[in-house]
Amino acid sequence: MYRFQDVARPAATAAKHFVGTSLRMASSICPGEYAAPSVETSVPGPKSKKLLADLSQIQQSGSVQLFADYNKSLGNYLVDIDGNVLLDVYTQISSMPLGYNHPDMLKVLDSDENKRAVVNRPALGVFPAADWPVKLRSTLMSVAPKGMDSLTTMMCGSCSNENAYKNMFMKYQRDKRGGTSDFTDLEKESCMINMPPGAPKLSILSFKGSFHGRTLGVLSTTHSKYVHKLDVPAFDWPIARFPEYKYPLHENLKENEQEDERCLVEVEELIEKWEKKGNPVAGIVVEPIQSEGGDNHASPYFFQKLQKIAKKYNAGYLIDEVQTGGGPTGKMWCHEHFDLETSPDIVTFSKKMQTGGYYLKNEFLPDLPYRVFNTWMGDPTKIVLLDAILKVIKRENLLSLVEKSGDVLMSGLRDLEAEFPALINSTRGRGTFITFDAADAKLRDDIVKRLLTKGVQSGGCGVVGIRMRPALIFQPHHAHMFIDRLRQVLAETE
């Protein structure tokens, strides 16, 4: 089997977590959904522009694209305040697993018990409710990656990665002490003034093109766009090359295999170089698909070998599933496509999982309280929503639907590549987590804007990528709708 076979297409099997249910009719998956997009004004329309002017007097709002009417948005359709009904293949940057106003999620708030969970938000690290352990077991732990028995809940993707890095540093130093956390007086004193040995020189290896968040520590491992990083001090940590494949994959097997090997050799060289600099690598962080950086893929072989390298140098192996987790690749966790020898050491999540956090192997847990801690440590109300989401995923067999809809998207996009080879290329993805490239950045931005005029909300990534991040309820007829409107845009370009 070619090592690149799985990169372009998902396997034709349902994910291990949710199997055995036949697909329901569209009305069951999303009752009452709009039949098609409808564009009444420009996007953004006059009402959105007026509100944008108001908001700009309060805060920096240059990133705002439109103002939504969340009372009217439904299923796969985002409705803006000007009445435009948009097929949303971007879904709040990949964070809406069941689309808008799903009845099962709305029903959750009918419960007085759940209302009290909203009103009485606890400091989970010290005062959790009596039902907290069972809620975690029935939700987050019910879909935990195989071999990962521990969990830390957090608020968002950035703080999940930020604290997961701390777990890797603490475990690395604990190993150096012989497995204990018996700190010396010098360590206690020196850490208070940010000096070694209490504040040791350690590093995290990351990859060019990666995105792991915008908070201070994780910014040193984010390398997707300069706007995220300018003016902010950064750590002296190693940055390895991430594979840059040639497409179509089946026509470039030898070149892509060589690319894997070049990148893996560089990883080892950098680890050894930073060891000699007195700044050893305590962990490796990698996205299963580099999302913000351009939807860059790597082969299962690359991730397998990377795990072996991490183990060789006693570095933690963290897979950042903030954007890929929760089902959009056809499996609950994208790294399940890679047939790793063992589970990663840490897997971070957020977005479709509603709350932030990370799974970790037991040996990466701190052995003292308050070492990874904040006031809220997550949000019980998000776990309530996640419970409803997971039940719908299972009941409607949505991961199988993701594969079917993804096949339609991939096939349609490759047909468009053949039809418009000068305009788009390099279609790639797993499930409905799909991207294609425009010929240049200007054309990419133009396609995204003109898709809006056809009633499609999409998004860019990297320099020339156009990414799709639809909800798990995105069906084959939605995929055909997207392909038809993209074809119109491309036909108007030539």
Q: Tokens for 32?
A: 């009452």
Looking at residue 307, its amino acid is Q
> Nearest 5°: phi and psi at 234?
-135, 155
What's the burial of 35, exposed, middle or buried (CB within 10 Å: 0-12/13-18/19+)?
exposed
Q: In the beta sheet, which residues pair with residue 320?
A: 348
Q: Which has the closest alpha carbon to 394: 461, 340, 332?
A: 332
Looking at residue 326, its amino acid is G
What's the burial of 190, exposed, middle or buried (CB within 10 Å: 0-12/13-18/19+)?
middle
**Residue 388 and residue 392: Cα distance in Å, rounded?**
6
Q: Which of 18, 211, 420, 474 is catalytic?
A: 211
Task: Tell me, yes or no, if 211 is annotated catalytic.
Answer: yes
Find out whether the peptide bond into 197 is cis, omega within 30 degrees of 0.
yes
Beta pairing, strands 346-349 & 316-320: parallel
Q: How many helices (H) and strands (E) does the chain have?
A: 16, 16
Q: What burial letters (b/e) apply to 141-165, b meaning 16+ CB within 10 Å?
A: eebbbeebebbbbbbbbbbbbbbbb
**Distances from the Cα of 380 to the Cα of 9, 359, 375, 393, 482, angstroms:** 36, 17, 13, 20, 36
Residue showing tokens 């133009």: 446
Q: Which has the closest alpha carbon to 122: 356, 410, 376?
A: 376
**Residue 8 and residue 430: Cα distance in Å, rounded?**
6
The sign of the torsion formed by the CA atoms of 467, 470, 475, 478 equals negative
Looking at residue 424, its amino acid is I
Q: Which of 351, 352, 404, 454 is catalytic?
A: 351
Task: Tell me, yes or no, if 320 is annotated catalytic.
Answer: yes
Q: Which has the closest alpha carbon to 48: 27, 69, 71, 28?
A: 69
DSSP string, 221-253: G--S-HHHHTTS------EEPPP---SSGGG-H
Find out whether the peptide bond into 44 is cis, omega within 30 degrees of 0.
yes
Q: Tokens for 460?
A: 């860019």
Q: Which of 50, 277, 375, 415 is catalytic?
A: 375
Q: Which of 6, 82, 260, 320 is catalytic?
A: 320
DSSP for residue 9: S
How many residues does this entry show for the chain? 494
Residues identified as active-site? 211, 320, 351, 375
